[in-house]
Amino acid sequence: MLKSEYLQRVYTQVIKRDPDQKEFLQAVLEVLESLDAIVEAHSEYEANGVIESFVEPERIITFRVPWTDDQGQVHVNRGYRIQFNSAIGPYKGGLRFHPSVNLSILKFLGFEQVLKNSLTGLPIGGAKGGSDFDPKGKSDREVMRFCQSFMTELYRHIGQFTDVPAGDIGVGGREIGYLYGQYRRLRNTSEAGVLTGKGLAYGGSLARTEATGYGLCYLTQEMLKCMKNDSFSGKTVVVSGSGNVAIFACQKATELGGKVVAMSDSNGYIHDPKGIQLDVVKDIKLGHRGRIKEYAERVPGSTYTDGFRGIWTIPCDIALPCATQNEIDQEAAENIVKGGAMAVAEGANMPTLPEAIQIFQKAGMLFAPAKAANAGGVATSALEMSQNSMRYGWTFQEVDAKLQQIMVNIFHNIYNASVECGVTGDLVVGANIAGFKKVVEAMMAQGLV
Ligand code: NDP
């Protein structure tokens, strides 16, 4: 519950404006609860309407996306771009193509992105976008026609100095390629810095594909070292999801000495007590966009179970939720605690419900929130933009070393913020406050509030 009257008033107004946006309200409340620790000491926030501006996107764009399927039938989806905050740099954030996409989910993701991008220490504002289009089961040609139609409207709102989209759920290298190709046709320019996550042949960065999963493990490793004098070595790890973030989290956790024993997709989960064979997962998911169930058919000794939430009944030392929002509810959290876990680090955005976070914190576990733990993806996107501006490419090792340093810096920044606020080790509060302070300083210095 919010203590500050000012924050209570702001939150009431947010609810009144958008009572049905449950994911957005959840994200705003979590951040405002953290700001309770500092707002009393900053009367200028209320006098300048700072928090009111902070929770309201600068601009919301919605548009019609008509496209034709392989049978010649026309379909119409809805496209969105939420340009949330540009105080510290061009709007930056991914595009999500998934049937569940709506304004609430994109506003929550855009809001979180503002804080996350601030934590990277790089000059990028926050945005998010996407469509309720479902790429699953569509042919490459159908996905291409959809992406071209989507960009035919989006191109007028973006640019390397204005707004730089990237991938997210349902938007990987294939989609970014089609989107970028259409942007170049419409603009008649090679403006590589307008999109990130591009292929290596046309302006992409080495290590961008791996960055979110790798970065998650780098931050987790630093958290284990500094807060528990421990590491991944010898630990049992459960990773939910089997998409971009999950696959490379599994790879890095294994390289750092952990044993990943379970992964999932939206249908169910696999359990392999000997340790997941990542080449098999990659072949299924990246090779032919198959279902995770296939793993159990191919690897003796492993099992498949229907229902993705069941993955959290498998005991582990470290839990890395990397699928989607709100996948760890109270029951899942209790199972994770029962299984003896020492740490949870969020690879997905807001995978843990607030009541589940409380369960982890009460149990004395380490908890790294998404806006810090998965910031490696967007940080490396910003490195891709730097390379595009220089017209020069760094080696994999150079980008990976910068990513590692950024994640270590983020951990110390949020940990120190938690100490300064008198809640040592509460990285939720630390991340919210460290991210917020920089954005607000930039907003005030530029007269934006
Ligand atoms: P992908 O589309 O590559 O993979 C998503 C994975 O999550 C798939 O295994 C998918 O299974 C599963 N999934 C999706 N929706 C659900 C659902 N409703 N229930 C259960 N499982 C589900 O996406 P990413 O790996 O890129 O993204 C995963 C998460 O990480 C998202 O929250 C995203 O916002 C976040 N993130 C991603 C970044 C990136 O660089 N890609 C950067 C920062 C955060 P299925 O195949 O069955 O749909």
For 31-58, the pLDDT digits (tens) are 999 999 899 999 999 999 999 999 999 9
Residue 272 belongs to domain with CATH number: 3.40.50.720
19 and 65 part of one domain:
no
pLDDT for 122 equals 97
155 and 225 part of one domain:
no
Please indicate, yes or no, if residue 288 is contained in any of the structural domains.
Answer: yes
175 and 238 part of one domain:
no
Q: What percent of the chain has pLDDT over 90?
A: 99
Domain boundary among 132, 160, 191: 191
Pick the catalytic residue from 107, 116, 128, 371: 128
Please indicate, yes or no, if residue 410 is contained in any of the structural domains.
Answer: no
Q: What's the maximum distance between 2 C-alpha atoms anywhere in the chain?
A: 65
Domain boundary among 337, 368, 399: 368
Answer whether residue 356 shows pLDDT above 90: yes
pLDDT for 172 equals 94
Q: What is the pLDDT of residues 137-196, one digit of tens each?
A: 999 999 999 999 999 999 999 999 999 999 999 999 999 999 999 999 999 999 999 999
Pocket lining: 308 vs ligand 1, CB cutoff 6 Å: yes
pLDDT for 37 equals 85
Q: Which of 240, 245, 247, 327 to mutate to test the pocket of ligand 1 (most atoms within 8 A of CB)?
A: 245
Per-residue pLDDT band for 216 (boundaries 50, 70, 90) equals very high
Where do we find the tokens 């309200």? 25
Number of compact structural domains in the chain? 3
45 and 63 part of one domain:
no
94 and 176 part of one domain:
yes
| Averaged confidence pLDDT in the chain | 97
85 and 44 part of one domain:
no
Per-residue pLDDT band for 282 (boundaries 50, 70, 90) equals very high
Grouping H, G, I as helix, E, B as strand and the rest as coil, residue 324 is coil
| Mean pLDDT calculated for residue range 366-384 | 98
Grouping H, G, I as helix, E, B as strand and the rest as coil, residue 398 is helix
Q: DSSP label at 159?
A: B
| Mean pLDDT calculated for residue range 439-448 | 97
Per-residue pLDDT band for 1 (boundaries 50, 70, 90) equals confident
Q: What is the pLDDT of residues 411-428, one digit of tens each?
A: 999 999 999 999 999 999
Q: Which of 244, 293, 304 to mutate to test the pocket of ligand 1 (most atoms within 8 A of CB)?
A: 244
144 and 162 part of one domain:
yes
Q: From start to end of 257-353, where are the E strands? A: 259-264, 268-271, 303-306, 318-321, 343-345
222 and 363 part of one domain:
yes
Please indicate, yes or no, if residue 265 is contained in any of the structural domains.
Answer: yes
The residue whose C-alpha atom lies closest to atom 17 belonging to ligand 1 is 266
321 and 357 part of one domain:
yes
| Mean pLDDT calculated for residue range 86-102 | 98
362 and 302 part of one domain:
yes
Domain boundary among 322, 348, 368: 368
d(CA 100, CA 80): 13
Range of the structural domain that residue 31 is part of: 5-54
239 and 118 part of one domain:
no
